[in-house]
A and B are shown apart, each in its own frame.
Chain A
Amino acid sequence: MANFYLDNKDLQYHLSHPLMKRIIELKERNFADRSEYDYAPQDVEDAMDSYRRVLEIVGDVCGEVIAANAESVDHEGPRVVNDHVEYASGTVRNIEALNEAGLGGMTLPRRFGGLNMPVTCFAMANEMVARADAGFENIWGLQDCAETINEFATEDIKARFLPRVSAGETCAMDLTEPDAGSDLGAVMLKASWDEEAGVWRLNGCKRFITNGDGDISLVLARTEDGTKDARGLSMLIYDKRDGGVIVRRIENKLGIKGSPTCELVFNNAPATLVGDRKMGLIKYVMSLMNAARLGISAQSTGLAEAAYREALKYAQEREQFGKPIIQFAAVSEMLKNMEAKTLASRALLYETARFVDIYKQLNHISNERSLEGEERQEMKFYNRLADGFTPLAKMFGSEFANEVAYDSIQIHGGSGYMKDYACERLYRDARILNIYEGTTQLQVVAAINHVTKGTYLEQILRYEEQELNENTSALGAELKELRKRYEEVVARVEALDKEAQGYKDFHSRRLVEVAGYIIMSHIMLRQATEMEEYLNPTKIFVKYASRKIAEAVSCINASETSDVELYK
């Protein structure tokens, strides 16, 4: 009777964060829905109770159904039959169970059949699904495409598509093409207006499309003839019921094998424009990508959780030299670090998700009425934090998941290299996390602005204001010292960048990492101050973070401007 919510105290802790109250207020707006919907909450406490209960359902389906199917799905994988995707049989059962549980449209408004839950709760659900089967999370997590429709489409379009997502139909985001990967401005799929039929027509190819044969697809296409850059791109919805798209093939991948990664051919496929023309990449895809990145950090945390648990279980059971291997220092140190990274990854994920929730809800409200002065300030404040923290959560979460999965195999020894244990699947599944939805290197490009513009430093200073106790004050002092090192290296890099253009670019990952390690340490420290259970993992994480920071700082301090040329 595995339940991935009830067996995870850390996840439950994050749901109880004080900011949840504000998020519920913004999400429920005077609890107006209660007169219309019998499942709407009466007050904050009632909403929290409902969130817990719904997450318990997710935990049950994950523990009982999805986890049990993960291995067979990995072996069986999806197939192309008559130009369309046929999922592995376990995938079909997973979708059926989640739909019976009514978990489509988790964040969508009730008027579209949704559950109207915060992004934070959706991220928690994604985390649990990924812990059960990371590849399946790709299919299910794509329901966040509906969030983008909800944010930017007209009421008509919303009413047409969103209830279907709530009923359990799957989504896809069709962005990548053979010559447009990280550089999406180069997308060439052509959209032309069909005057007679009154629809847009799509022609061309897409590649590497996750769940490409989903029911509802958001497509980035070139509506402006003759253009070559991002300004000619728009966002359109393709409805599978209309036909016109075939799946040419499914990629044969290293991992997440249950998730069909499709090559698509559009042949006069009808489509509906979302929002304004030419804003496809500049506005809508950016929003979509931010949601997707948060999804990947949830996927990463879930995978790290699974890999850590597999390793812990094995280390407790496997005996060598007459005792369980967990009793050997070399093994237990690895496990402690894996645990600390998993907790830190989760701490950063939900801190980010809460920022996103507040910003997104105020943004929704601003579409209905003009915000008060204070609300405008609040929206701006959280928007900046959400933008700054999302690439950090994606980057650290995905890198940590890889490290934890790597160590999980190491702890399994020779057995871990065999197909007999789940750790080998987790290791393969993890490898995509720091690549798709923007590689780690691209997350650095998004994050470096927040180093130079001070978003991170300001937030670190705010964290420093937190009240500590006798257990945590020494760690707090240590983090202040680390923050000074951070300010010094930022100052050095900015000064030298003026002498040698490209110097900042060269060190950007190191700067972002230093900021990220300090930020995660602070969130962990807050938890350790609230609950003693977090004290030891926090100490371990801060030690780990200090080592990583020391390495980055010494690298920057020893780096001359000539390095820019040296590494070219």
Chain B
Amino acid sequence: MEKVTKIVVMAKQVPDTRNVGKDAMTPEGTVNRAALAAIFNPEDLNALEMALQMRDRLGNARVEVLTMGPQRAADVIREAMFRGADGGYLLSGKEFAGSDTLATSYALSCALRKINPDIIVAGRQAIDGDTAQVGPQVAEKLNLPQVTYAEELVDIKEGEVTIKRRLERGAEVVVSPLPAVITVNSSAKECRPRNAKRVMKFKYALATSELSVAEDKAKAFIAERPYLHIVEFAAADVNPDPEQLGLSGSPTKVKKIENVVFQAKEAKSLSADDKDIEALMQELIASHTLG
């Protein structure tokens, strides 16, 4: 039998910071997670779509999602399965709590060593931290080539991928050997919607810790259908150095968070003649508001 190409998408469950209300921050200045819906990080959905396109083109491939987070992060894996992923891994445990990008990429790279994928795809960055560091750090830790700012899958074949990158002043097409890490921009193709049959097929999928507290009926149901069992890794399963996990592995310390409240402080009125408008344009360009 031909080898199945294993594509892993790194995805993150994030608070929906796109529609922030006034209760989005706690009085202490941290994110009030209870007030924000937990969603699939938007660029990770672009990454999932690119991974699914790779599978569509290769034929003999599997797309799996890897996420690190609390038990409810299994929702991200189910969502990915509804949209086309074949399965997933939840990396979960209190050891991972408080991870910054360094500890996160370390934990993910430990899990990836165990999974041993042929291709790793991730969103460029998550909307909660906006660092864009985790993908590249994972590539470094696994000693793999990385293609960042990916916008389009141009071609993929055995051992090689061709990607169009969206850069500040243009686009670039690069060829990379595989395995590699690819991080995907929001300008890439939007993720396909949930598929009706897949939703009906995978709606009862559970991760190991969810399954352990499920009703007997659900346990029996999933026992007969292994594809409904989402693999869950605890820290010990991925053989990490405990010092590099969670808070102890995170050199980043948040010193202070400030709530920025935008307020119109000044108003300016100008006439509709060309001179005034030209002057305003110059002013806006000089202050880098435009251009």
Contacts and interface: CB of A to CB of B under 8 A. Distances in A.
B195 interface: yes
Contacts of B198: 39, 102
B201 interface: yes
Contacts of B194: 57, 60, 101
B272 interface: no
A57 B195 CA distance: 8
Interface string B183-204: 0000000001111111111010
Contact of A115 (B196, B203, B221): B196
A50 interface: yes
B200 A100 contact: no
A54 B199 contact: yes
A456 B230 CA distance: 54
Chain B residues touching A, range: 10 to 19
Given A50-B200, A53-B200, A54-B200, A102 B195 contact: yes
A101 B198 CA distance: 9
A54 B193 CA distance: 11
B193 A60 contact: yes
Nearest to A113: B197
A38 B201 contact: yes
Contacts of B197: 39, 102, 115
A386 to B, nearest CB: 26
Contacts of B200: 39-41, 50, 53-54, 115
Interface in A380-420: none
B22 interface: no
Contact of A53 (B192, B203, B227): B203
A125 to B, nearest CB: 10
A80 interface: no
B123 to A, nearest CB: 18
Interface in A71-127: 97, 100-103, 115
A101 B195 contact: yes
Interface string B31-54: 000000000000000000000000
Nearest to A38: B201
Given A100-B192, A100-B193, A101-B193, A57 B225 contact: no
Contacts of B203: 49-50, 53
Q: Is the interface of A mostly helix, strand, loop or mixed?
A: helix
A132 B240 CA distance: 51
A61 interface: yes
B196 A54 contact: yes
A135 B226 CA distance: 44
Contacts of A115: 196-197, 200
Contacts of B221: 42
Interface in A22-61: 38-42, 49-50, 53-54, 57, 60-61
Contacts of B225: 38
A109 to B, nearest CB: 14
A485 B196 CA distance: 49
Contacts of B195: 57, 100-102
Nearest to B37: A1
Nearest to B16: A1
Interface in B143-199: 192-199
Contacts of B199: 50, 53-54, 57
Contacts of A103: 196
Contact of A57 (B196, B201, B227): B196
Contact of A97 (B193, B196, B201): B193
B187 to A, nearest CB: 17
A206 B227 CA distance: 50
A101 B195 CA distance: 4
A271 B42 CA distance: 48
A128 to B, nearest CB: 13
A568 B287 CA distance: 78
Nearest to B18: A1
Contacts of B192: 97, 100-101
Interface string A178-208: 0000000000000000000000000000000
B196 A101 contact: yes
A224 B89 CA distance: 65
Contacts of A50: 199-200, 203
B222 to A, nearest CB: 12
Contacts of A101: 192-196
A49 B227 CA distance: 20
> Taking each of A40, A42, A54, which has the highest tally of chain B beta carbons within 10 Å of its own beta carbon?
A54
A154 to B, nearest CB: 26
Nearest to A47: B200
A54 B200 CA distance: 8
A54 B194 CA distance: 9
B46 to A, nearest CB: 15
A537 B41 CA distance: 41
A100 B192 CA distance: 6
A425 B221 CA distance: 50
A91 to B, nearest CB: 17
A103 B195 CA distance: 8
A532 to B, nearest CB: 28
B204 to A, nearest CB: 9
B226 to A, nearest CB: 12
Nearest to A61: B193
Contacts of A57: 193-196, 199
A42 B221 CA distance: 10
Contacts of B201: 38-39
A381 to B, nearest CB: 31
Given A50-B200, A57-B195, A102-B196, 18 more contacts: A38-B201, A38-B227, A39-B196, A39-B198, A40-B200, A42-B221, A53-B199, A53-B200, A53-B203, A54-B196, A57-B193, A60-B193, A60-B194, A65-B193, A100-B195, A101-B192, A101-B193, A103-B196
20 contacts: A38-B227, A39-B197, A39-B198, A39-B200, A39-B201, A50-B203, A53-B200, A53-B203, A57-B193, A57-B196, A57-B199, A60-B193, A65-B193, A100-B192, A101-B194, A102-B195, A103-B196, A115-B196, A115-B197, A115-B200
Name the 10 nearest CB pairs between A and B, nearest first: A39-B200, A100-B192, A102-B196, A102-B195, A101-B193, A39-B201, A39-B197, A54-B196, A38-B201, A50-B200
Interface of B: 192-201, 203, 221, 225, 227
